[in-house]
Structure 1
Amino acid sequence: MWLLYPSESDFPYEEEVLRDPLKLQAWQRYLAALAGAPPQKRFSIYERAVRALPGSYKLWRGYLAELLDAVQPLPISDPSYASLNSAFERALLTMHKMPRIWLMYLTSLTEQRRVTRARRAFDRALRSLPVSQHARVWPLYLRLVSLPASPRDRQAVTRLAAALNDDRKSFCSVKGKTRRQLWLDLCDIVARHAADIPISGLNVESVLRSGIRQFTDEVGMLWNSLADYYSRRGLYAKARDVFENGLNAVLTARDFGIIFEGYAQFEQSLLAAKLDASDGEVDNGYLDDGEFWLNGGDDTDFLIARIELLFDRRPKLLNCVLLRQNPHNVEQWRRRVTLFDGDPSTQVSTYVQALKTVDPMKAAGKPHTLWVDFARMYESRNLLDSAEEVFERATQVNFKSVDHLATVWCEWAEMELRHNNFEKALQLMRQATAEPSVEVKKRAAADGNEPVQMKLHKSLRVWSAYVDLEESLGSVESTRDVYDRMLDLKIATPQIILNYASFLEEHKYFEDAFKIYERGVKLFKYPHVREIWAMYLTKFVKRYGNTKLDRARDLFECAIEQTPSQEVKPFYFQYAKMEEDYGLLRRALHVYERAVKAVPDCEKSSIYESYINRAESLGFKEVRKIYEQAIEAGLPDSDLKTLCMRLADREASLGEIDRARRLYTYASEHADLQSDSNFWKKWREFEIMHGNDDTFREMLRIKRTVSLPAQTFKRIKRQRLQ
């Protein structure tokens, strides 16, 4: 490696090329001075030179010539050939118009027997060089194709087939290819070289279909290969059949997309070829103006219609693929129905097929929607008898969920309502909510697989629809019977309780409504019972006022007892409000006193505020006690400071200046210098109005103390106490 570094004799040349790397003569002098140096050292200088001057023909030609000389004695498998080919490719980025560089590269590739790479390089050379230079390329190209060792497609297919048919699996690819890759290579060759393969005696269709069965992740590509094989042989009808078979056999949208794209390109290529042929005939004057256009076999319009039909069929074909993937996919069946809008008979047959295919226990989605949509389709065409028949059959299906069956019954009743069949709708709801007989229950238990029909009579959805119908169409007694049955079955929700009580109140059954509230608060626990208690207490107080205070107090006590402390504050406020309006003030104050002990510290402030406001009528002495109680109650700092300032204002207004100052001093222990500027401002105003120099300086000293770190502040406080 050290031989590649510049020696002392190289320093002048190094300085020259570093000073002016774009000067060709400097690099040439440097290379001439290294004429006897090792090849690797000269190659490193060449690399630096062509990087600095990539457009220099002289540098590239000299470099490539030396590389060719260096690899001449080496075997073709040597890695040096890869470096040589890479250098040629880099040179052609700027030298692609130089025929000598191309000829050197093409000759080297031909000698390396890299047939595919050489063929592609020849094609690039012919595209890059002007036509006048092609005569220099073609002799080399002909030499390449006439090489005796060049592979033939038939031989490649025969050898690949032999390797794959080797039961002992002794064949091992030198490139590390797996049997799967070899299979795919074989399928690709037999498809692309269809003209040569039949002579080899290989059954191409069997090969490709075997690949389709084995390699499920390449199904789309293999179907296209089989169709391409027939297309290249001119068997267009057979190719079209293969495409159709592929579209109707694949199971994934990816494979479908691959086959459909190949099918579309196939049809478009046939149309393009037909149009080109027609243009040629017109140009040559083959058509007689008086001859009817179909007589010449012009099927252009037919080919166009084929393409249009293919694209029109795409959504239906893709839907078939997704249904083959999962025949129990409800949404795909519903989408399939929409694809046949305007064709009622096909929609009916699609619904029938879907309902026969989809297993409710395996369904992806909501299988009952198929029945509902089917019935709605008949309803939209005023075929109510057919719609009712569909619903009736749907009610006998053993769905996975009771809610699915309940939805069917509700949809059936709603359809009857839309057509003013009110009695029929009520009858359906009565039938749906009827409890199965004991005999039916025993038979279902003996079978061991209880159908959803046995659980329908406890479906909240059905009962909710039923009670709504009874409220709208039935009598008060029938509606009450429905509500009572819901309560007996224990399927009522808090909202059902509220609705039942509201219904009774509307019809002036107030005591019955309160009984329902009582049942509700016994049925449910917190937090579900909260809304029931709130409505119950509000309605009761509004109804009876001061006539049944003891009973109202008992209700409030029960509500407070059941409610956790975090949520009890509204009930205490409501309780105190009732005592203020209809009871005694002392009782109201007692409720507030209980409330501040029951609720969390963060909620006490608002209660104390109401407590203080209501106690004003008892005199300031009583109010002061409440303030003092609040200050010692462990309120958050912000609430504590607010109470202290309010009490200090009251004390100052009564001439109790020392009391007020002590309140400010106490509150300062919970104040912050930055965030509580309003507190310090009020204290300052207080001292200006009521204090003297000493008290003002004390206020300033405390303010400075608050700004100190917490530990220092505590130490000073202890010293003051001592």
Structure 2
Amino acid sequence: MAPASRPNGSDAPENGIDSLLPDEADLLYEEELLRNPYSLRMWVRYLDARKSAPTLKRRLLYERALEKLPGSYKLWHAYLQERRQEVRDLSPAHPALEALNNVYERALVSMHKMPRIWAEYLEFLVRQAWVTRCRRAFDRALMALPVTQHARVWPAYLAFISHRGTPQETAVRIYRRYLRFEPAHAEEYVAYLTTHGRWGEAAARLALLVNDEGFRSLEGKSKHALWLELCDIITRHPQEVKGLKVDAILRSGIRKFTNEVGRLWTSLADYYIRRGLFERARDVYEEGLTSVVTVRDFSLVFDALTQFEESLISAKLEQEGEGEEEEDPAAAGDGDDFLLTDTGADLDLRLARLEALMQRRPELLSSVVLRQNPHNVHEWHKRAKLFAADPTKQILCYTEAVRTVDPDKAVGKVHSLWVAFAKLYEQHGDLANARFIYGKAAEVPYKYVDDLATIYCEWAEMEMRAKAYKKALALMRTATTPPQRPRTREEENKLPVQERLYRSLRLWSLLVDLEESLGDLASTRAVYETVLDLKIATPQIVLNYAAFLQESKYWEDSFRHVGGGSVGRRGVWVLNRGSTVRLGVYERGVALFKYPHVKDIWQAYLAFFNQRYGGKKVERARDLYRQAIDEAPPEESKPLFLQYAAFEEKHGLARNAMQIYEEAVQKVPVGERLSVYDVYLARASEFFGIGKVREVYETAIEAQPPFALSDADTRTLCLRYAHLEQKLGEVDRARAIYVHASALADPRRDAAFWSDWNAFEVQHGHEETFREMLRIKRSVAASFSQTHFNTTVVDAVAVAAKAMAAGGAPPPAVDDMAALEAELAAEPAGGTRLPGFVSAGVIQQGDAGQEGGEAAAAAAVNPEDIELDEEEEEEGEPAALELEQKEVPQEVFGSLAPPAKKSRVDA
């Protein structure tokens, strides 16, 4: 026998037939197979034992095994794997590949339900590039396998048709079949169609996807994106897209998707332009301009229309320049030549059309904004200004505005539209129509009463400009007519604004002005009284009423005050005896308002009262001042106290003025007390002399919270007091004041105080006093540097003292320093807040004053002073200083000094 050839091309050994025969090692397997030829395990063991056997022998073994077990997937899969390994490096035209194809076909006779066999076979066929054979094999696989296994076939099938050699028609039909299996993958089909230029079918498929409400894009595209893709296809390729109602599709997209309305309108117009229907395209542009609701879409459509008109004009110019005739419109195709198919014969008409379009842009843009919100009052005013040169269009604009704007939804003031509308007629001299417009405006159900009040005010002002004063007065009287029956607030809130108009202060203010100018005294007073009775007056109305009465010489009607009764309705004072007296205007004003609104009324009331009566009605003026001060808050009381004190100084008693100043420094805020003390001290020096001044200074310095000054103001007042004593020659008293104030002056922050004390000691002191000043300065600096520790201890001691007073348990023990500080903090209220201050008291002049001074000096002896020997005092005593004695000026003592006797003060 001739030697057989190997499948891989190598020659078999000469004894090839002998190598196929079983040898001694195979006898065991052969004998077992003779007894049980259908044992899969034995065949597998036999094949595993003969892995190194020749290829033909293994093929023979596989064939024998498959003959006995044709339904074994394990044997077929292993057999096919080995056969594929043998031909992996061979060319597609080698006969061995066809032999393997036959083996696969034989295997599929019994393995047609195995997707793995089909997948390997199909992959093997695709590698051989047999298009028809592969397509039929894929179809057989799909028919043989159950539907649940088709997902393992279709990816390879789609990959096969994507190759270049696959005909498009075949690929399209395969994709259509695939979409029946996987409808959700329609986007892949659309992408394939657009890639290969099949625009008609791509548009049809996209239209189906867009209309399918249950479709969900696997690529994450929204319906809006699919719409835009469809629009791009049907507008750029109108000739290929047939069978679709492009106009209906795009218009439905415009209604459904509002984000890209401008783009859809331009796409629809572009579709007609590419088809050569220019007039239809222009109509689409105009429709888009009148329907878009955003400025962005408007700009997109307007720019596209402008570019379209300019392109037509450019094409016409080029055509006339070259002398060429226009082509037949039916012969127009894609590209730039379609512009020449427009049948327009007049270039001037085209230019006029473009110019008119540019002039209409502001009006069209205003329409866009109003379509966004037709109740935008400000935009209606802007639109009316666009037609300033055409009154007819302005009238039409305002007519449309007042019909469209809903007062409940309006953005802006609705009444301004009616006012502007009426003023338009007034400017052209048509007062009859202006009155008609105002009459219609007065019937509109406005949201607020002030809107209707503005209409009546503007109406009255128009009548006054037309010099129809009686009509204006009658109109305002009609508008302010109160209802016959009084209504509660709850009832009025449910009524329309026309029923609540009588409470509009704006109307009453204008009516008051008209009555003062055109009416008589009685009618004007009646209007003012009605305003006060309705309790809608403002402080300015009260002041105006009072000024009107004063100009008319009705002084007491503005100032009348009655005591001993109660205030009734309509500003009437009901006396205890049953009689009634109407209060003055100022009295009614201060009864209506509280601070801060009543401040101006009180100031005017007191000023006019003093101006009118002066010192004739002192007790009544005192009552008014006292009432004003009692009602005023602390921050508003300072001017009233000063006015009251000035009144007492001029028409009353100086003693009363001092009491007023003393009360003022206790009530005014802390920040204003120093300025009040300045006035207080000046008046005390003027009326009572140095004794009263010292009393005021000491009262201010010793005042306890909440009537005390701030630390800075107290320090300033102490410096002034010390300078005064220094001028009077009272050096010891001045030094005591410095010592008192030193506890409030931090040397690190208040260097001016210590510089002033230093200058004082240089001028009037000696070595010991200067050393004492330095010691105090060091101790004060140390106390300020440790304030936070001492404050904590003092607070703890104070809390413990309160607990003991309440009968609680004794507090924990505190150290001696804390106890000492607590003892200092518990100093009686009659003493000073700081150690080292010697109270001056009220020093009288003469012998009695000297005795009082000696008693005060004895009382001021410090029991803790260290007594030094005379020798030590002599050693430390500086050289004697000669102090010059000056005579105290007579003005210092004021009215207390005897006229014929001059008193002296020891230096």
Aligning the two structures, in what range does the TM-score lie when normalised by the shorter sequence? Answer: 0.7 to 0.9
Partner of 2:335: none
Q: Could you tell me how far 1:321 is from its partner in structure 2?
A: 1.9
Q: Which structure 2 residue ranges, 5 or more long, are not aligned?
A: 1-125, 127-161, 165-192, 327-342, 560-583, 791-816, 825-834, 837-863, 865-907
Partner of 1:141: none
Q: Could you tell me how far 1:678 is from its partner in structure 2?
A: 2.5
User: Are the structure 2 counterparts of residues 165 and 333 from structure 1 closer, same or farther at C-alpha, using a change threshold of 3 Å?
Assistant: closer
- Work out the CA distance in 2 between the residues paired with 1:521 and 1:172: 77
Mean Cα displacement is larger for which, 591-600 or 237-246?
Answer: 591-600
- Work out the CA distance in 2 between the residues paired with 1:358 and 1:655: 86
Q: Which amino acid aligns with 2:587?
A: E
Q: Deviations over 1:150-184 (max 9, x none)?
A: 33322322332243344653x644x3323332122
User: Are the structure 2 counterparts of residues 264 and 283 from structure 1 closer, same or farther at C-alpha, using a change threshold of 3 Å?
Assistant: closer
User: Are the structure 2 counterparts of residues 520 and 186 from structure 1 closer, same or farther at C-alpha, using a change threshold of 3 Å?
Assistant: same
Q: Could you tell me how far 1:477 is from its partner in structure 2?
A: 2.0
Q: How does 1:274-289 map to 2 (within 5 A)?
A: 274-281=316-323
- Work out the CA distance in 2 between the residues paired with 1:396 and 1:165: 51
2:210 corresponds to 1:164: yes
Is residue 746–residue 784 contact of structure 2 (8 Å, CA) maintained in 1? no
User: Are the structure 2 counterparts of residues 648 and 270 from structure 1 closer, same or farther at C-alpha, using a change threshold of 3 Å?
Assistant: same
Partner of 1:155: 201
- Work out the CA distance in 2 between the residues paired with 1:148 and 1:247: 32
Partner of 1:468: 513
Partner of 2:539: 494
2:628 is aligned, of 517, 537, 559, to 559
2:733 corresponds to 1:659: yes
Q: Report the 3-state secondary structure (helix = DSSP H, G, I; strand = E; otherwise coil) of the residue aligned with 1:217.
A: coil
Question: Is the helix fraction higher in 1 or 2?
Answer: 1
- Work out the CA distance in 1 between the residues paired with 2:198 and 2:770: 110
User: Are the structure 2 counterparts of residues 510 and 592 from structure 1 closer, same or farther at C-alpha, using a change threshold of 3 Å?
Assistant: same
Mean Cα displacement is larger for which, 208-217 or 269-278?
Answer: 269-278
2:714 corresponds to 1:672: no
2:411 corresponds to 1:364: yes
2:392 corresponds to 1:322: no
Q: Which amino acid aligns with 2:733?
A: R
- Work out the CA distance in 2 between the residues paired with 1:399 and 1:181: 46
Q: Could you tell me how far 1:667 is from its partner in structure 2?
A: 1.4
1:258 is aligned, of 300, 305, 309, to 300
Partner of 2:236: 192
Is residue 378–residue 412 contact of structure 2 (8 Å, CA) maintained in 1? yes
Is residue 194–residue 202 contact of structure 2 (8 Å, CA) maintained in 1? no
Q: Which amino acid aligns with 1:417?
A: M
**Which of 1 and 2 has greater Rg?**
2
- Work out the CA distance in 1 between the residues paired with 2:781 and 2:367: 77
Q: Deviations over 1:482-530 (max 9, x none)?
A: 1111111111111100111111112221111221000000111122111
Is residue 395–residue 409 contact of structure 1 (8 Å, CA) maintained in 2? yes
Partner of 1:135: none
- Work out the CA distance in 1 between the residues paired with 2:163 and 2:694: 108
- Work out the CA distance in 2 between the residues paired with 1:249 and 1:524: 57
- Work out the CA distance in 2 between the residues paired with 1:524 and 1:160: 76
Q: Deviations over 1:277-300 (max 9, x none)?
A: 23332899xxxxxxxxxxx96532
Q: Deviations over 1:232-253 (max 9, x none)?
A: 1111111111111111112222
- Work out the CA distance in 2 between the residues paired with 1:556 and 1:492: 24
- Work out the CA distance in 2 between the residues paired with 1:346 and 1:283: 43
User: Are the structure 2 counterparts of residues 708 and 192 from structure 1 closer, same or farther at C-alpha, using a change threshold of 3 Å?
Assistant: farther
Partner of 1:422: 469
Q: Which amino acid aligns with 1:352?
A: T
Q: What TM-score results when the alignment is normalised by the length of structure 1? A: 0.73
Q: Deviations over 1:39-75 (max 9, x none)?
A: xxxxxxxxxxxxxxxxxxxxxxxxxxxxxxxxxxxx9
- Work out the CA distance in 1 between the residues paired with 2:367 and 2:671: 63
Is residue 232–residue 267 contact of structure 2 (8 Å, CA) maintained in 1? yes
1:177 is aligned, of 217, 221, 227, to 221
Q: Which amino acid aligns with 1:153?
A: W
2:429 is aligned, of 374, 382, 404, to 382
Q: Deviations over 1:455-495 (max 9, x none)?
A: 11111000000001111222222211111111111111111
- Work out the CA distance in 2 between the residues paired with 1:618 and 1:247: 91
Q: Which amino acid aligns with 2:293?
A: L
- Work out the CA distance in 2 between the residues paired with 1:551 and 1:433: 38
Q: Which amino acid aligns with 2:199?
A: D
Partner of 2:844: none
1:632 is aligned, of 681, 687, 702, to 702
Q: Report the 3-state secondary structure (helix = DSSP H, G, I; strand = E; otherwise coil) of the residue aligned with 1:177.
A: coil
Partner of 1:125: none
Is residue 450–residue 504 contact of structure 2 (8 Å, CA) maintained in 1? yes
Q: Could you tell me how far 1:359 is from its partner in structure 2?
A: 2.1
2:587 corresponds to 1:518: yes
Partner of 1:40: none
Is residue 634–residue 667 contact of structure 2 (8 Å, CA) maintained in 1? yes
Q: Report the 3-state secondary structure (helix = DSSP H, G, I; strand = E; otherwise coil) of the residue aligned with 1:216.
A: coil
2:672 corresponds to 1:603: yes
RMSD over aligned CA atoms reads 2.9
2:275 corresponds to 1:206: no
Q: Deviations over 1:614-664 (max 9, x none)?
A: 111312122111101111222112211111111111222233222211111
Q: Deviations over 1:318-337 (max 9, x none)?
A: 22222222222222222222
1:692 is aligned, of 752, 760, 766, to 766
- Work out the CA distance in 2 between the residues paired with 1:655 and 1:315: 88
2:523 corresponds to 1:478: yes
Q: Report the 3-state secondary structure (helix = DSSP H, G, I; strand = E; otherwise coil) of the residue aligned with 2:291.
A: coil
Is residue 319–residue 325 contact of structure 2 (8 Å, CA) maintained in 1? no
Q: Which amino acid aligns with 1:159?
A: R
User: Are the structure 2 counterparts of residues 164 and 339 from structure 1 closer, same or farther at C-alpha, using a change threshold of 3 Å?
Assistant: same
Mean Cα displacement is larger for which, 705-714 or 344-353?
Answer: 705-714
User: Are the structure 2 counterparts of residues 607 and 165 from structure 1 closer, same or farther at C-alpha, using a change threshold of 3 Å?
Assistant: closer
- Work out the CA distance in 1 between the residues paired with 2:616 and 2:293: 77
Partner of 1:528: 597
Q: Report the 3-state secondary structure (helix = DSSP H, G, I; strand = E; otherwise coil) of the residue aligned with 1:366.
A: coil
- Work out the CA distance in 2 between the residues paired with 1:602 and 1:471: 45
- Work out the CA distance in 2 between the residues paired with 1:403 and 1:166: 55
Q: What TM-score results when the alignment is normalised by the length of structure 2? A: 0.59
Q: Could you tell me how far 1:674 is from its partner in structure 2?
A: 4.4
Q: Could you tell me how far 1:353 is from its partner in structure 2?
A: 2.0
Q: Could you tell me how far 1:676 is from its partner in structure 2?
A: 2.6
Count of matched residue pairs: 562
Mean Cα displacement is larger for which, 361-370 or 372-381?
Answer: 361-370
1:573 is aligned, of 632, 642, 652, to 642
Identify the structure with bigger relative contact order (alpha carbons < 8 Å, sequence gap 6+). Answer: 2
- Work out the CA distance in 2 between the residues paired with 1:269 and 1:709: 92
Q: Which amino acid aligns with 2:698?
A: E
Q: How does 1:16-31 map to 2 (within 5 A)?
A: none
Q: Could you tell me how far 1:382 is from its partner in structure 2?
A: 0.9
- Work out the CA distance in 1 between the residues paired with 2:467 and 2:228: 67
User: Are the structure 2 counterparts of residues 690 and 182 from structure 1 closer, same or farther at C-alpha, using a change threshold of 3 Å?
Assistant: same
2:663 corresponds to 1:618: no
Is residue 187–residue 211 contact of structure 1 (8 Å, CA) maintained in 2? no
Q: Could you tell me how far 1:711 is from its partner in structure 2?
A: 4.6
Q: Which amino acid aligns with 2:655?
A: R
Q: How does 1:227-266 map to 2 (within 5 A)?
A: 227-266=269-308
- Percent identity over the alignment is 51
Mean Cα displacement is larger for which, 263-272 or 627-636?
Answer: 263-272
Q: Deviations over 1:94-148 (max 9, x none)?
A: xxxxxxxxxxxxxxxxx999xxxxxxxxxxxxxxxxxxxxxxxxxxxxxxxxx99
- Work out the CA distance in 2 between the residues paired with 1:701 and 1:631: 23
Is residue 231–residue 250 contact of structure 2 (8 Å, CA) maintained in 1? yes
